[in-house]
Homo-oligomer: A and B are copies of this chain.
Amino acid sequence: MKSTMKALVYGGEGKIELKEVPLPKIKKPTDAIIKVTKTTICGTDLGIIKGKVPTVQPGTILGHEGVGVVEEVGGSVRNFKKGDHVIISCITSDGSCEYCKKGMYAHCEDGGWILGNLINGTQAEYVCIPHADNSLHPIPAGADEEALVMLSDILPTGYEIGVLNGNVKPGDTIAIVGSGPIGMSALLTSQFYSPAKIYMIDLDDNRLATAKKFGATEVINSGSENAIQRIMDETKDGVDVAIEAVGLPATFDICQQIVRPGGRVAVVGVHGHSVDLQLQKLWIQNITLTTGLVSTNTTPMLLKNVVSGKLEPKKLITHRFMLDDILLAYDVFGDAGKEKAMKVIIESESVNKLQTATAEKLEEMAV
Contact = CB atoms under 8 A, between A and B. Distances in A.
Interface of A: 28-30, 74-76, 78-79, 94-104, 106-107, 110, 113, 133-134, 170-171, 191-194, 196, 247, 252, 261-262, 267, 269-280, 282-293, 297, 300-302, 304-305, 308, 310
Contacts of A290: 286-289
A308 B78 contact: no
Contact of A291 (B79, B102, B134, B279): B279
A79 B95 CA distance: 11
A283 B271 contact: yes
B196 A193 contact: no
A288 B288 contact: yes
A76 B30 contact: yes
Most chain B C-beta atoms within 10 Å of own C-beta, residue among A110, A272, A289: A289
Contacts of A272: 280
A297 B103 CA distance: 11
A53 B252 CA distance: 26
Nearest to A160: B286
Contacts of A133: 94-96
A288 B171 CA distance: 23
Nearest to A74: B76
A194 B196 contact: no
A285 B277 contact: no
Given A171-B301, A261-B104, A301-B171, A78 B99 contact: no
A170 B192 contact: yes
A364 B237 CA distance: 48
Contacts of A104: 261-262, 286
Given A78-B96, A79-B96, A99-B261, 20 more contacts: A29-B29, A75-B76, A76-B76, A94-B95, A95-B96, A95-B134, A103-B103, A107-B262, A113-B284, A192-B194, A193-B194, A194-B305, A196-B308, A196-B310, A247-B283, A275-B279, A276-B277, A282-B291, A286-B293, A289-B290
Contacts of A74: 76
Contact of A304 (B94, B113, B196): B196
Nearest to A261: B107
Contacts of A287: 290-292
A274 B273 contact: no
Contact of A100 (B95, B279, B288): B95
A292 B100 CA distance: 22
A261 B107 CA distance: 7
A96 B290 CA distance: 27
Given A134-B96, A262-B102, A276-B274, A301 B76 contact: no
Nearest to A284: B293
A291 B285 contact: yes
A304 B134 CA distance: 27
Contacts of A301: 170-171
Nearest to A134: B96
Given A103-B103, A300-B98, A280 B276 contact: no
Most chain B C-beta atoms within 10 Å of own C-beta, residue among A134, A191, A279: A279
